[in-house]
Amino acid sequence: MSEGHRIHLLPPSAAERIAAGEVVERPASVVKELIENSLDAGARWITVEVGGGGSRLIRVTDDGEGLAVHDLALAFRRFATSKIRTSDDLLRILTYGFRGEALPSIAAVARVELVTRTPGAEASRIVIVGGSQEFLGPASGPPGTTVTVEDLFFNTPARRKFLKSPVREVAVIAETVNALALAAPDVAFRLTDEGREILWYPPEPFANRARRGLGPAVAGHTLEVSAAIADGALEGVLGTPQVAQPRRRHQWFLVNRRPVRSPLLARGLAQAYHTLIPDDRYPAAVLALNLPPQDVDANVHPRKTEVRFTQERRLFDEIVREVRRALHRVPLVHVVPGGRGGPGASGPRPAAGEGAGADSVFDGRWARAETGPIPPLTSADDSAQGAPAVAVGARWPSIRVIGQLARTYIVGDSGGDLVLIDQHAAHERILFERLLGRRTSEGARAQGLVSPVIVQLGAAEAMLIGEADAALRAIGFEVEAFGPGTVRLTAVPAIAVGRAPEHLFRACLRDLEGDGGPHAGRSLEERLAIATACHTAVRAGDPLDTRMMTELLDALARAEDPFSCFHGRPTMIQVRGRDLERWFYRRG
């Protein structure tokens, strides 16, 4: 073996720079590590100053307990920490920093000065350049700690050239500060860039801090969630479906006051909003979990940005349940003067648990009625079942049908407010919930055909039949093989008896073909329920008489999620009577 291929130990300087890469990826990584140290030191206020996008200057100042002079040099050695004594401590981590890598990793690739003072002692100062100590001695300064990081990556130019523009790096720093501010709402945070203030968060309750972090476009359209789950607690602020975002950047997850990335929590949040928002939108939310330390593994990522849970399935189910429960309090979308329904148009929502005033659409009349049997839209649907009508609870709006607009919208009067209902979206919601809610061990109730229909299948359809046989039966389609490339359709879902059987069957198969489309991530059974409801529901352009419109609204009142269809579109909007009066100059 040649000398160049023999195994040897790396020199300390090279090893330190490689190790630094695990912790210090960009300026925001430095900001994160230094803020976490400040929080662990009990700081009540933290100021972050940056220049040159953070590559020229990062300075973090706090009023925490500071470092004793005899600990200064040790703090810049790898694996030196005050937070872990034995390996067993890793099972009950309650602090942000515990690896003992942040300060030495930062000092290995920058020029670092730390000035600190503990209560009742003199201030001390240490200077580290590229991992080498250049000064240690007395200084002057207030109680707390100031860490100044200059010329980041000055000795690793290959990494420096991969940094983005200063504007982009400052944006990432702002996101980092925002995340940590959400985790510590009782601490004041200030961020400046080249002397210009970017963020200022005063100490405040968690819900207020969460709304501040979500931004003004979302803050006025939120609900709160608070519940005991999985031997811990869940607290959060949820954006209403109307302010769902095109990207996930308005989602924040906190576990034991630590901002984390968690696919599990992201999936749980998405599942809770399932069918309430379009599939190409993402909920806006801040969710904070507090769990026993032994149930959380925070030691799975070098930068401590990911965690694992010991009870993942239970945690997922409980998050979906509690978030969904809070979302069930979402009111009608309503229109304000000069605006349109949708994001930015709805008025403020009351927080969970707060009483709604008479001025709010979310008062005693507007929440969902208790779930019960859904009456048919037409007598042909369920006449044989004889399901008793369920009285609509006082929480559902009392709507008097006025008529139909453009053969598409039902126009109603609710206590002097104008309500517009999308007849297709409303009927889709009703039928979808009926298909999935009335299943038994044998599947949904099917309606046998007096004359079975013979259906010739294409190659793709024939392959899909075999794959989707269980889902078809669960929804109510009964299909038998009837020769090569042919099946006999003997029953359809009971809700669809008014539609041409072969046309409905083929339309549903078309919707199931392929892996693309907005509902591709859902189960075959659910996709089939969506397709069946979509092709069975009344359409825009279908005339409805007053009786049919009244029956549709009665059925919608009994839906689990009456305010949106499964595509996430609203089923109805409201125009407040007082707004109409303002439009016609009847009131100021």
Per-residue pLDDT, 360: 25
What are the CA-CA distances from residue 34 to residues 48, 149, 177, 430, 578 (Å)? 9, 10, 11, 53, 53
Collapsed DSSP state (helix, strand, coil) of residue 455: strand
Per the CB < 8 A criterion, the answer to whether 185 and 209 are in contact is: yes
Could you tell me whether strands 196-201 and 188-193 are parallel, antiparallel, or unpaired per DSSP bridges?
A: antiparallel
> 453 has which bridge partners?
489
Taken in order of first residue, the domains within the chain and their CATH numbers are 12-201 (3.30.565.10), 206-327 (3.30.230.10), 358-434+541-583 (3.30.1540.20), 437-514+521-536 (3.30.1370.100)
Per the CB < 8 A criterion, the answer to whether 189 and 169 are in contact is: no
Q: What are phi and psi of 40, to 5 degrees?
A: -65, -25
Q: If residue 200 lies in a helix (H) or strand (E), which one and from where to where?
A: strand 196-201
Q: Any idea which of 102-111, 328-337, 346-355, 389-398 has the lowest mean pLDDT?
A: 346-355
Tokens found for residue 107: 């000092």
Per the CB < 8 A criterion, the answer to whether 228 and 235 are in contact is: no
Helix, strand, coil fractions of the chain, as percent rounded to 5: 35, 25, 40
Residue tagged 């972090």 (tokens):
213
Checking if the pLDDT of 398 tops 60, the result is yes
Per-residue pLDDT, 384: 31
Total-model pTM:
0.63
Q: What are phi and psi of 286, to 5 degrees?
A: -120, 115
> 200 has which bridge partners?
190
Per-residue pLDDT tens digits for 330-386: 655 444 443 333 333 333 333 333 333 322 221 222 222 222 333 344 333 333 333
Per-residue pLDDT tens digits for 478-496: 999 888 888 999 999 988 8
Checking if the pLDDT of 518 tops 90, the result is no
Per-residue pLDDT tens digits for 29-62: 999 999 999 998 999 999 999 999 999 999 999 9
Q: What is the rounded average pLDDT of the residues 265-274? A: 90
Per the CB < 8 A criterion, the answer to whether 128 and 136 are in contact is: no
> 124 has which bridge partners?
116, 138
Give 68's pLDDT tier (boundaries 50, 70, 90).
confident
Output the average pLDDT for the chain. Answer: 79
CA distance 138 to 314: 54
Per-residue pLDDT, 506: 86
Collapsed DSSP state (helix, strand, coil) of residue 562: coil
Q: Any idea which of 8-17, 196-205, 333-342 has the lowest mean pLDDT?
A: 333-342
What percent of the chain stands above pLDDT 90? 37
Q: What is the rounded average pLDDT of the residues 427-456? A: 78
Q: Higher pLDDT residue, 407 or 93?
A: 407
Sheet hosting strand 486-493, strand order edge to edge: 446-456, 486-493, 478-481
Per-residue pLDDT, 511: 82
CA distance 35 to 28: 10
Q: What is the rounded average pLDDT of the residues 401-416? A: 92
CA distance 443 to 196: 63
Checking if the pLDDT of 588 tops 80, the result is no
Checking if the pLDDT of 138 tops 90, the result is yes
CA distance 54 to 552: 59
Cα dihedral 106→107→113→119 (10° resolution) = 70
Q: Which of 14-18, 29-33, 292-296 has the highest mean pLDDT?
A: 29-33
Q: If residue 417 lies in a helix (H) or strand (E), which one and from where to where?
A: strand 417-422
Q: Higher pLDDT residue, 188 or 157?
A: 188
What percent of the chain stands above pLDDT 70? 76
Checking if the pLDDT of 300 tops 70, the result is no
Collapsed DSSP state (helix, strand, coil) of residue 462: helix
